[in-house]
């Protein structure tokens, strides 16, 4: 008999950034098998139309369903904020999404000014608009589109002069505006935290949603009785990418023994 609990957690992103979420999930749920989809060929999603993002999210979901996933984590703010509603309406499987953590930031801020660094697609989405209107309206939101950051990470240029210059261009206005919380609204951006920290010092709290997504994944698996408790078996972590593997290998280098990186044309 098929044991659905042994099926994998499916995770997808427009590219390699969602591995920041995979790491949180793997830490919290070490007994789970995972299948990660890096749609790097189509990155960035952030400046695509809502309909294109929906189409790509459907394509990724179908691929993961064919590989027998029991739950799907949309490890991409842009795909979540534009497409998760449609995915939930069309597929009978639990979906976990990620959106910029502006609610926690609104509770933490003392200056009442928060910065949000995200893609154009996320900042312009209805879901982001809805969440924004639900927080205290006295809080000023400084929203910055991080155009170009995803492309540099996808190209393996995480630590490059181009990255240093672009980050400083985006972060300086936030420091000037006296934000005390900076929300990272894209799953690629946690990889930039050491460089952002250098720019902002210790006066600004950097907030991202990775850990919360892992906790939510665990809670939904438990609620649906889908948790894998077979601790004796070797776990499988497959990463599929439809473009050059270099950036993915770089970001997963600390987990190299655990993971299998494969090319596929999806």
The catalytic site residues sit at 76, 186
- Tell me how far apart the alpha carbons of residues 96 and 59 are, in angstroms, rounded to a whole number: 17
Contacts with ligand DGL by CB under 6 A: the residue count is 18
In angstroms, give the least distance from the CB of 257 to ligand DGL.
25
Each as own residue / partner, the long-range contacts of residues 146-149 (CB below 8 Å, 24 or more positions apart, any chain) are 146/117, 146/118, 146/119, 146/170, 146/186, 146/189, 147/46, 147/47, 147/119, 147/120, 149/186, 149/188, 149/189, 149/192
The verdict on whether omega for the bond into residue 35 sits within 30 degrees of 0, i.e. cis, is no
Q: Which one among 8, 26, 60, 78 touches ligand DGL, defined by CB under 6 A?
A: 78
Task: Please state the φ and ψ torsions of residue 145, each to the nearest 5 degrees.
Answer: -80, 120
Q: Does 188 bind ligand DGL (CB under 6 A)?
A: yes
Element (H, E) at 233: none
Q: Which of 33, 77 has the CB closer to ligand DGL?
A: 77
- Measured in whole angstroms, the distance separating CA 83 from the mean position of its chain's CA atoms is 14
Q: Write the interaction track for ligand DGL spanning residues 201-220; mark x where CB under 6 A is met and - where it is not.
A: --------------------
261 forms beta bridges with 239
Q: Which stretch binds ligand DGL (CB under 6 A): 72-80, 157-165, 173-181, 224-232?
A: 72-80
Q: Does 187 bind ligand DGL (CB under 6 A)?
A: yes
Q: Does 9 bind ligand DGL (CB under 6 A)?
A: no
In angstroms, give the least distance from the CB of 20 to ligand DGL.
9
Q: Which one among 10, 17, 104, 210 touches ligand DGL, defined by CB under 6 A?
A: 17
Q: Is 181 left (phi over 0), alpha (psi -120 to 50) or beta?
A: beta
- Measured in whole angstroms, the distance separating CA 182 from the mean position of its chain's CA atoms is 16
Q: What residues have CB less than 8 Å from 133, skipping those under 6 apart?
A: none
Q: Of 101-130, which residues contact ligand DGL (CB under 6 A)?
A: 119, 122
Q: Which stretch binds ligand DGL (CB under 6 A): 38-46, 106-114, 168-176, 207-215?
A: 38-46
Q: Which of 43, 87 has the CB closer to ligand DGL?
A: 43
Q: Which stretch binds ligand DGL (CB under 6 A): 37-45, 89-97, 173-181, 191-199?
A: 37-45
- Could you tell me which of 30, 105, 44 has the C-alpha nearest to residue 79? 44
Q: Which of 14, 228 has the CB closer to ligand DGL?
A: 14
Element (H, E) at 111: none
Q: How far apart are the first and last CA of the chain?
A: 30
- Tell me how far apart the alpha carbons of residues 162 and 159 are, in angstroms, rounded to a whole number: 8
Q: Write the interaction track for ligand DGL spanning residues 43-62; mark x where CB under 6 A is met and - where it is not.
A: xxxx----------------
Q: Which of 186, 241 has the CB closer to ligand DGL?
A: 186
The residue ranges that bind ligand DGL (CB under 6 A) are 13-15, 17-18, 43-46, 76-78, 119, 122, 150, 186-188
């Amino acid at each position: 008999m098929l044991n659905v609990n042994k099926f994998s957690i499916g995770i997808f992103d427009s590219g390699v950034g969602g591995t920041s979420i995979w790491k949180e999930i793997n830490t919290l749920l070490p007994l789970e098998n995972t299948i990660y989809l890096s749609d790097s060929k189509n990155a960035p999603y952030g400046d695509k139309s809502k309909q294109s993002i929906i189409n790509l999210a459907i394509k990724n979901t179908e691929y993961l369903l064919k590989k027998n996933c029991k739950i799907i984590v949309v490890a991409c703010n842009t795909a979540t904020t534009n497409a998760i509603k449609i995915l939930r309406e069309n597929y009978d499987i639990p979906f976990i999404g990620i959106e910029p953590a502006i609610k926690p930031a609104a509770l933490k801020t003392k200056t009442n000014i928060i910065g949000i660094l995200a893609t154009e697609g996320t900042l312009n989405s209805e879901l982001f608009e809805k969440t924004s209107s639900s927080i205290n309206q006295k809080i000023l939101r400084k929203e910055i589109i991080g155009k170009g950051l995803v492309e540099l990470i996808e190209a393996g240029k995480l630590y490059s002069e181009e990255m240093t210059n672009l980050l400083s261009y985006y972060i300086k206005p936030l420091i000037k505006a006296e934000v005390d919380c900076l929300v990272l609204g894209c799953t690629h951006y946690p990889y930039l935290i050491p460089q952002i920290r250098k720019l902002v010092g210790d006066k600004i709290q950097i907030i991202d949603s990775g850990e919360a997504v892992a906790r939510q994944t665990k809670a939904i698996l438990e609620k649906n009785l889908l948790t894998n408790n077979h601790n004796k078996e070797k776990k499988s972590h497959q990463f599929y990418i439809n473009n050059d593997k270099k950036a993915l290998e770089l970001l997963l280098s600390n987990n190299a023994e655990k993971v299998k990186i494969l090319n596929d044309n999806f």
